[in-house]
Structure 1
């Protein structure tokens, strides 16, 4: 079972700088990379896994 803290923000806060804004927060990226290493998944598998979790949380 994987449990995410409800207060964790997945969306990045606006920086006010020029250029493309970040989509995900640094904490969300770090969490995804940790799951990738923990479960030994490829990056594409991790991306699909996290996107499937986002469907359940909506």
Structure 2
């Protein structure tokens, strides 16, 4: 009886250890398609007339 319980516990741990890494991955195209990113500078002026440069990262 003890051997059956022990073997069932070992089988359950083995099954869960293989299932855990498969759940870790997410959806996405990281391996297939690399994004092209660049920094866009937007120039504007504040209330006092000073130049303000805002940098925005754009990825396609």
Give the TM-score normalised by structure 2: 0.26
Give the TM-score normalised by structure 1: 0.27
Bigger CA radius of gyration: 2
Q: Which has the higher contact order (CA 8 A, sep 6+)?
A: 2
- Bigger share in helix: 1
